[in-house]
C-alpha cells in the first residue's frame, strides 16, 4: 500500500489519506468462531504481567516490554501482557519498559527495566509513572483489544473483546447521539481477509452510559453495521472508485419535521484534493448514508459540530469559525454558511489578491460573513509573508505555557465545558517533538477566542496521534472529567515499525480538568473610559463586553489553584496586592520578583502601573510614553502577555445544551 500523503493543515479538521487502489471489496472466507473461541476457554499456562499506573493502580495499555533478545510484548487494554514463550518460561527475564507518556525509573547504568521470574501460570506487576496529564484508558477499535486478558483468564468488559466487525484498524472518529444511541463514524477501515478494506466509511452504534452502555472509564461496546461476510460495511456506497470520507455528524428535523442524521462527505483523490464535497443523510431503513447535495460554495459542512444560541437564533457551529442557522433549509444552502473572518464579505481567500476588510483606523474587521472564506493558520502565514497583515492580527495565537513557543494546530475539537465555564479545545500539533503526536489543552472565553495559552497533555515518542475528538456525552462530574480519543498510527512519524494491534486504531484518554497543571492564564479585559478590569464571568453576565477596550494581559483566574501565585485585588481602577475584608481576588499572578532557580517563560512580563493625571492603567510595556505619563518604579506582579492585538470575540454565543 502506498504511503499516505499529508493534507493541508487546518486548526480544526484533518484527515489521513490512504492508498488509492481499486476499492472493490475483496474477501477470503474466515470463521469468526476460530478467532474468538478462546474467550471462554480455560486460560493456558501463561505468565501474566500487569503494568499499572503507580498513582492510580489502573492497568496501562500500550506498554512495551522488550527482552534482551528483542522479543516484544505490548500490554492490552487491561495493561496485561501474556507470556508463554518456551525459551522464557522458567527463566528470570529482564524486560525493558517503555510507553508513550509514561516512564519507568532507570538504574545506575541508565537502563529502564526490571527482571521478573517468568513461570507458567505466574503473575507479576510493574508500576510506571504517568508523565501525560491525560490518562490512557483503552483501545476502542481493532482486533485483540483484550487479547492478553483473555489468554490469562482476566475479566474483560466488552462483549466482543477480541474481534468486532472483522475490523483490524480504523481512522478518524465522529460521534453523535441519534434516536437513543450514540452513532459512531470512521474513515478508512482495515480488514483481516485482504490488505485493502473499506474506504467508504464505517459505522456502529453504542448505548449511552447509564442507559445500557458501559461506563466510559471502562470501554465502549460497539455494534457495527456489517456486510454478508461480517465485515464492517460501506456506509456511503457512492458510485466512485475513490475513498469517500464522512464527518461533521449532526441531527436536525427535515422538511417533514422528522429527526434525521446528517453528515458531510468528500470524494478524495490521491493528492488529497476533494473532487466533491457535500451533505449526506442517513437512510434508517437501508442503514446507509445517501447523498443529499453537493456544495460548490466557499464553505461546506466540516469538522465537529456543536450547537450555539446567539441573538435568539439556533446555530450549528462546525468549528469556532464556521456556522450556519440550524434548520433544514439553511444547512442545504451553501451560501448560507458563515465564517468568522477578516475578509470582505462574499470573497474567497486568493493569495495576494485576498481582500481584507479594515476600518477607518486600519484595524482588521472580524465578523460573521456569509459565503466568505475562513482564514486558517496557513492562510495567515501567507498573508503575513505578502505583507497584507501582521502576525499579531490573528486570533489564533496558541502558545506553550511553559516556553511561549508557538503551537501549530493541525486538528482540534471544541466544546463548552460547564466545569471550567469556558470553551475547551483539544488540539493536535504539527511539527512538535513528534510530528503529529502531541496533543494540547486550551480554553477560551468565546468560541472564537482568544485562543492563546495551552498545555501539552499527551506526548508520543516518534509516533502519530491525530484528529483528536472530545466526547461531551461521556463527560462526568459536571464536566470535571472529559474523555477524548484520536488515531494512533506510525504514518507521518518517520519510523517504519508499527505497534502490533494498536496501529491505525482509536485510543481513549481521560482528562481531569481540576488538575493544577491546567491552571492556564485567561484574558484580563480593560473597559473603555473607566479603565477598570474584569475577567470573563463579569463580562459575560451582562452587556459589558460591548465596552471592552483591550486585552492588555493574561492572568490566572481566582477559581484556579493558587499555590505559588499572588492574589491581585481591584479597588476601583487600582490593582493591588493588599487584601480587603470580604473582597475576592480579581485574578492571580506571579510574584514581581523572580526567584533564583525558577524558569521564566518569555511570555511572562512585569506588570507596571501607569498614571496620567486622574487616569490609571496597567501594562506589560515598560516603556509607554506620553505627556504627563508616569510609570511605577517597581512592577505590581508578573503576568502573561497577549500576543494578539485583535479582539475577535464571539460574545453572543451561548452553548445550547
At 2, the pLDDT band (50, 70, 90 cuts) reads very low
Per residue in 122-169, pLDDT (tens digit) is 999 999 999 999 999 999 999 999 999 999 999 999 999 999 999 999
The mean pLDDT of the chain is 92
Cell of 469: 475528538
Please state the rounded mean pLDDT for residues 163-183.
98
pLDDT of residue 597: 80
pLDDT of residue 39: 43
Q: How far apart are CA 221 and CA 156, in angstroms?
A: 12
pLDDT of residue 599: 85
pLDDT of residue 542: 66
Q: What are the residues whose beta carbons fall under 8 Å from the beta carbon of 210, sequence distance 6 or more?
A: none
Closest Cα partner for 318 from 105, 429, 176, 131? 176
Per residue in 415-438, pLDDT (tens digit) is 999 999 999 999 999 999 999 999
pTM equals 0.92
Q: Which residue has the cell 479585559?
A: 525
Per residue in 338-385, pLDDT (tens digit) is 999 999 999 999 999 999 999 999 999 999 999 999 999 999 999 999
Cell of 234: 460501506
Q: Are 568 and 576 in contact (CB under 8 A)?
A: yes
Please state the rounded mean pLDDT for residues 330-334.
97
pLDDT of residue 430: 95
- Going from the N-terminus, what domains does the chain have, and what CATH number goes with each? 32-152 (2.60.40.1120), 167-518 (2.115.10), 522-655 (no CATH)
Q: In degrees rounded to 5, what are phi and psi of residue 173?
A: -105, 155
C-alpha distances in angstroms, 465 versus 176, 416, 462, 651?
22, 23, 10, 32
**DSSP category for residue 344:** P
At 539, the pLDDT band (50, 70, 90 cuts) reads confident
Per residue in 10-61, pLDDT (tens digit) is 333 334 333 333 333 333 333 344 334 344 335 669 999 999 999 999 999 9
Q: Are 213 and 182 in contact (CB under 8 A)?
A: yes
**DSSP category for residue 453:** E
Per residue in 443-470, pLDDT (tens digit) is 999 999 999 999 999 999 999 999 999 9
Per residue in 501-522, pLDDT (tens digit) is 999 999 999 999 999 999 999 9
Per residue in 301-319, pLDDT (tens digit) is 999 999 999 999 999 999 9
Q: Judge whether residue 271 has pLDDT over 80.
A: no
Amino acid at each position: 500500500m502506498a504511503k499516505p500523503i499529508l493534507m493541508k493543515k487546518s486548526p480544526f479538521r484533518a484527515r489521513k489519506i490512504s492508498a488509492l487502489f481499486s476499492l472493490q471489496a475483496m474477501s477470503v472466507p474466515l470463521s469468526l468462531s476460530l478467532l474468538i473461541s478462546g474467550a471462554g476457554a480455560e486460560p493456558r499456562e501463561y505468565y501474566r504481567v500487569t503494568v499499572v499506573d503507580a498513582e492510580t493502580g489502573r492497568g496501562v495499555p500500550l506498554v512495551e516490554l522488550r527482552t534482551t533478545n528483542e522479543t516484544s510484548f505490548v500490554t492490552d487494554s487491561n495493561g496485561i501482557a501474556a507470556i508463554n514463550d518456551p525459551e522464557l518460561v522458567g527463566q528470570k527475564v529482564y524486560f525493558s519498559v517503555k510507553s508513550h507518556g509514561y516512564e519507568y525509573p532507570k538504574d545506575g547504568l541508565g537502563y529502564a527495566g526490571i527482571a521478573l521470574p517468568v513461570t507458567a501460570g505466574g503473575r507479576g506487576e510493574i508500576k510506571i509513572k504517568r508523565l501525560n496529564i491525560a490518562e490512557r484508558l483503552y483501545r476502542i477499535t481493532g482486533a485483540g483489544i483484550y487479547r492478553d486478558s483473555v489468554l490469562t483468564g482476566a475479566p474483560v468488559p466488552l462483549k466482543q473483546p477480541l474481534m468486532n466487525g472483522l475490523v483490524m484498524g480504523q481512522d478518524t472518529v465522529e460521534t453523535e447521539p441519534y434516536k437513543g444511541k450514540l452513532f459512531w463514524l470512521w474513515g478508512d477501515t482495515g480488514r483481516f481477509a485482504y490488505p485493502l478494506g473499506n474506504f467508504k466509511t464505517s459505522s456502529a452504534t453504542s448505548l449511552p452510559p447509564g442507559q445500557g452502555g458501559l461506563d466510559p472509564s471502562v470501554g465502549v461496546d460497539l455494534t457495527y453495521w456489517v456486510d454478508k461476510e461480517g465485515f464492517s460495511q460501506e456506509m456511503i456506497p457512492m458510485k466512485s472508485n475513490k475513498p469517500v470520507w464522512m464527518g461533521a455528524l449532526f441531527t436536525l428535523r427535515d422538511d417533514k419535521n422528522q429527526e434525521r442524521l446528517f453528515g458531510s462527505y468528500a470524494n478524495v483523490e490521491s493528492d488529497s484534493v476533494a473532487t466533491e464535497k457535500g451533505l449526506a443523510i442517513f437512510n434508517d431503513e437501508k442503514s446507509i448514508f445517501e447523498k443529499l447535495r453537493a456544495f460548490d460554495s466557499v464553505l461546506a459542512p466540516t469538522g465537529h459540530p456543536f450547537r450555539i444560541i446567539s441573538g435568539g437564533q439556533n446555530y450549528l457551529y462546525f468549528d469556532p469559525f464556521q456556522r450556519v442557522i440550524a434548520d433544514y433549509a439553511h444547512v442545504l444552502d451553501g451560501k448560507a454558511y458563515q465564517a468568522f473572518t477578516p475578509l470582505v464579505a462574499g470573497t474567497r481567500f486568493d493569495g495576494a489578491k485576498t481582500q481584507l476588510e479594515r476600518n477607518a483606523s486600519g484595524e482588521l474587521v472580524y465578523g460573521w460573513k456569509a459565503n466568505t472564506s475562513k482564514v486558517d493558520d496557513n492562510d495567515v502565514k501567507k498573508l503575513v509573508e505578502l505583507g497584507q497583515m501582521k502576525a499579531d492580527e490573528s486570533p489564533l495565537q496558541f502558545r506553550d505555557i511553559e516556553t511561549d513557543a508557538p503551537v501549530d494546530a493541525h486538528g482540534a475539537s471544541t466544546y463548552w465545558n460547564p466545569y471550567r465555564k469556558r470553551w475547551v479545545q483539544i488540539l493536535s500539533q504539527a511539527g512538535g517533538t513528534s510530528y503529529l503526536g502531541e496533543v494540547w489543552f486550551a480554553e477560551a472565553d468565546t468560541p472564537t477566542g482568544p485562543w492563546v495559552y495551552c498545555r501539552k497533555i499527551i506526548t508520543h515518542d516518534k509516533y502519530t496521534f491525530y484528529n483528536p475528538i472530545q466526547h461531551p456525552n461521556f463527560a462526568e462530574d459536571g464536566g470535571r472529567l472529559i474523555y477524548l480519543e484520536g488515531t494512533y498510527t506510525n504514518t507521518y512519524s518517520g519510523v517504519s515499525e508499527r505497534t502490533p494491534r494498536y496501529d491505525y486504531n482509536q485510543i481513549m484518554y481521560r482528562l481531569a480538568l481540576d488538575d493544577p497543571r491546567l491552571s492556564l492564564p485567561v484574558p484580563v479585559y480593560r473597559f473603555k473610559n473607566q479603565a477598570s478590569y474584569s475577567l470573563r464571568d463579569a463580562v459575560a453576565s451582562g452587556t459589558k463586553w460591548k465596552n471592552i477596550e483591550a486585552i492588555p494581559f493574561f492572568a490566572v483566574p481566582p477559581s484556579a489553584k493558587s499555590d505559588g501565585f499572588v492574589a491581585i485585588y481591584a479597588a476601583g481602577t487600582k490593582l493591588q496586592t493588599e487584601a480587603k475584608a470580604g473582597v475576592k481576588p480579581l485574578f492571580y499572578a506571579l510574584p514581581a520578583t523572580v526567584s533564583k532557580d525558577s524558569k521564566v517563560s518569555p511570555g511572562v512580563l512585569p506588570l507596571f502601573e501607569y498614571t496620567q493625571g486622574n487616569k490609571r492603567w496597567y501594562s506589560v510595556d515598560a516603556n509607554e510614553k506620553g505627556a504627563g505619563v508616569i510609570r511605577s518604579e517597581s512592577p505590581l506582579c508578573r503576568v502573561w502577555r497577549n500576543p494578539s492585538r485583535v479582539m475577535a470575540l464571539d460574545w453572543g454565543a451561548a452553548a445550547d445544551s
